[in-house]
A and B are shown apart, each in its own frame.
Chain A
Amino acid sequence: MKVLIAVKRVVDANVKVNVLADNSGVDLNNVKMAINPFCEIAVEEAIRLKEKGVATEIVAVCIGPKTGQETLRTALALGADRAILVETDTQVDPLGIAKVLKAVCDKEEPQIVITGKQSIDSDNNQTGQMLAALAGYAQGTFASEITVDGDKLTVVREIDGGLQTVALNLPAVVSTDLRLNEPRYASLPNIMKAKKKPLDVLTPEELGVDVAPRTTTLKVEAPAQRSAGIKVESVDELVDKLKNEARVI
């Protein structure tokens, strides 16, 4: 079966971003970019499905500006077979991303779509669920284990109180949680090989999708700063401060 993976390009998880002085956004100049960590987990899971003989082809999709090609090359180096960049300079919101992915699904007809649970930049946690709605697919969000069994997909999900298992009809959307797998690193030969793998470029217009955002970001501000407190010398001092100064115990 064909597996589609949605990969987003985001600021590297180790970077602490700064808000621009004019409050129009965060400073992305010379900031290290990377594949969204949850998308990396999606790529890894697709590769494992292929290694198990379940998946036959892995198609990676990224929506965004031209630089998305780099992110797709990363996915190809890790093991995706083919890539599609849906190129746009618009800041597309999750509903628009989901519509683009739906249009790609109509063309590609995958049995499983794997997305991350959340973009670590915009922290939306929406796209996979929205895609599932638009395509009429079942959804297994926040997955920590997936098993394909005939035409059913069993997904163990990380929920607030523990774990939940659901059985889904295929095709289905899976969104990855942190414990689904530990992504591998791309080897140098595979990075070289990835350069020759097919990468198609489309536009939202070619797919017939309107990606005009429904929300406008009016301003972006720095959060209230927390100042460092004091170091206490001993447990006794700590207990005393908590009782008599902070009065929280």
Chain B
Amino acid sequence: MGILVYVDHDNASVNPATLSTVTAAKEIGGDIDLLVAGSDCGAVAEAAAKIEGVAKVLVADNAVYANQLAENVSLLVADLGKGYTHILGSNTVIAKNFLPRAAALLDVAQISEIIAVDSADTFKRPVYAGNAIATVQSADAIKVITVRGTGFDAASAEGGSASVEAVDAAHDAGVSAFVSEEIVKSERPELTAASVVISGGRGMQNGENFAMLEKVADKLGAAVGASRAAVDAGFVPNDMQVGQTGKIVAPDLYIAVGISGAIQHLAGMKDSKVIVAINKDEEAPIFQIADYGLVADLFEAVPEFESKL
């Protein structure tokens, strides 16, 4: 059995989500090869080769993969993937974009966002915004899977010494082109990798008030997240949305500020180790899952909390 894991990256470094995906691959069992598809991505390949437990790193370094366009990368993955029993990607936007496309090219189903491996063909995944956990068995010869990072510990990024092999194939579907990207630069840890997350909701009232959460984040080394309502209202950018249809996080500490606790929000954070809720409405559903609830006006409680850290 051989497993191909797609390395999520930005041509500079490996996204930590890949480390959880490697752990899922180990639980399935078999030789693990990694695929790095990008352009000028030598540093990524080098880092990938150090991930513990990996046999080989395939590197497709070519201009056609520069922006990891789904149309091109799916052709590469479907081509290389034929030699494997499993193809795994992370639950990042890059893999969510191209992996179903690769699966369809291989004429196999995809199993999305697994949180546990029961056996080489049977997996657990949340459905209905995490209100049910389905155990799913695949009958396909090649299992194409995305892995939810919160379900698996990270494999060690050091200690491995995989061989690195260049892949020449340059697949260009010729139907799409990258135009531009607006990446929100932040000194803070990435939401899905942070050990502390503080999120704001509609109760924050506007974007400027998120500065209060940022001050707390600075003291705790936290990432800042948001509810959909806060994103829709334009308080903060879309990449901060936590929830069923946003990012899934499970930090050691999650602090929900001015968030009511709709099922779609809970779906993205209820596996956090410790949950704190600050809300002025004592009936807010978020209190039903919070370890520590503080019924208070956030405009008083948050600055006080920050000053006492």
Chain B proximity mask over A30-58: 1 for CB below 8 Å, otherwise 0:
00000000100000000000000000000
User: Within 8 Å CB of A137, what residues of B?
Assistant: 175
Given contacts A123-B113, A220-B127, contact A163 B132 (CB under 8 A): no
Given contacts A16-B263, A166-B177, A178-B245, contact A158 B131 (CB under 8 A): no
By the criterion CB–CB under 8 Å, are A139 and B101 in contact?
yes
CB distance from A77 to the nearest CB of B (A): 24
CB distance from A136 to the nearest CB of B (A): 8
By the criterion CB–CB under 8 Å, are A220 and B274 in contact?
no
Does B74 make an interface contact (CB < 8 A)?
yes
Given contacts A126-B112, A216-B139, contact A248 B127 (CB under 8 A): no
User: Within 8 Å CB of B181, what residues of A?
Assistant: 159, 161-165
* Bound CA span A137–B177, Å: 13
Instruction: Write the chain B residue with the least CB distance to A116.
Output: B245
Does A242 make an interface contact (CB < 8 A)?
yes
By the criterion CB–CB under 8 Å, are A138 and B175 in contact?
yes
Does B166 make an interface contact (CB < 8 A)?
no
Chain A proximity mask over B290-308: 1 for CB below 8 Å, otherwise 0:
1111111000010011001
Query: Which of A162, A220, A239 is within 8 Å of B309, CB to CB?
Result: A239
User: Within 8 Å CB of A105, what residues of B?
Assistant: none
User: Within 8 Å CB of B228, what residues of A?
Assistant: 178
Does B160 make an interface contact (CB < 8 A)?
no
By the criterion CB–CB under 8 Å, are A235 and B294 in contact?
yes
By the criterion CB–CB under 8 Å, are A17 and B132 in contact?
yes
Does A188 make an interface contact (CB < 8 A)?
no
User: Within 8 Å CB of B304, what residues of A?
Assistant: 235
Instruction: Write the chain B residue with the least CB distance to A132.
Output: B101
Does A129 make an interface contact (CB < 8 A)?
yes
User: Within 8 Å CB of B120, what residues of A?
Assistant: none
Given contacts A16-B263, A239-B309, contact A179 B238 (CB under 8 A): yes
Instruction: Write the chain B residue with the least CB distance to A227.
Output: B289
Task: List residues of B whose CB falls within 8 A of some A CB.
Answer: 67, 69-71, 74, 92-94, 96-105, 107-113, 122, 125-140, 173-184, 196, 220, 228, 231-232, 237-239, 241, 244-245, 247, 252-253, 263-264, 270, 273-276, 282, 287-296, 301, 304-305, 308-309
- In the assembled complex, 7 residue pairs joining A and B whose CB atoms fall closer than 8 Å, in A order, are A17-B131, A118-B245, A124-B112, A139-B71, A159-B239, A169-B175, A215-B136
